[in-house]
Amino acid sequence: MTEKRISVIEAAKEIGLRKQSLFRIIKRLKIEVSREKSSNHAGQFISYISENDLKLVSDQVQKSGKKESDEEPVNGFTAKGVFYLIQLEPDHDPGRFKLGFATTIQERLRQHRCAAPFAKVIASWPCHILWEKTAIDSITQGCEKIHTEVFRTNDISEIEKRCKRFFEIMPSPDRIK
């Protein structure tokens, strides 16, 4: 009799991890994964583990005490952080600004100050990494694009208002899985 298997997708949901996190644990524990095409997933190959292996992984997660966090990397980026509005030259070019995503605004400002020593943070909002491009495209309509994520406007306060409006309609990043 063959042992019952569960897809890694379902196992991740059951344990409360992203499947990428589960794959890392599976690899670390040297668990054998089987792959087969699934009609439920448009003929794509799906990875499966045994229920005994799922128990091993689940025990490992409980032992470590580590629960899934929104700080878990997604495609090399941290999923949750802040979207920021930085004024690059407040005195000499007050309309020049930078928008972007950062996991910590203090570190990001420090990095920007290498090229723009007088830069200052106007505001920041809780954000999910996947929102960054959409937010920038929405907020910078009608602005002059100077460089990647660097723009110029006649009214920096209007840009701040656009940012506020954008993030008022977005869900809390804490609710995104």
Q: Do 33 and 98 fall into the same domain?
A: no
Q: Do 135 and 157 fall into the same domain?
A: yes
What is the average pLDDT score of the chain?
A: 85
Q: Do 49 and 90 fall into the same domain?
A: no
Q: Do 87 and 168 fall into the same domain?
A: yes
Closest CA to 53 of 2, 13, 1, 5: 5
The answer to whether the predicted template modeling score (pTM) of the entire model surpasses 0.75 is no
Report the alpha-carbon distance of residue 95 to residue 159 in Å, rounded. Answer: 10
Q: Could you tell me which residue, 2 or 153, shows the higher pLDDT?
A: 153
pLDDT, mean of residues 42-58 = 85
User: Which tokens in the block code for residue 90?
Assistant: 């407040």
Residue 11 maps to a domain: yes
Give tens-digit pLDDT for 63-122: 776 544 434 444 444 478 899 999 999 999 999 999 999 888 888 888 888 889 999 999
DSSP conformational letter for 4: P
Residue 25, phi then psi, degrees to nearest 5: -65, -45
In the sheet that holds 34-37, the strands lie side by side as: 5-7, 45-50, 34-37
Report the alpha-carbon distance of residue 87 to residue 83 in Å, rounded. Answer: 13
Count: domains in the chain: 2
Q: What percentage of the chain carries pLDDT values higher than 90?
A: 39
* Residue 85, domain extent: 77-175
Report the alpha-carbon distance of residue 102 to residue 20 in Å, rounded. Answer: 22
Q: Do 89 and 47 fall into the same domain?
A: no
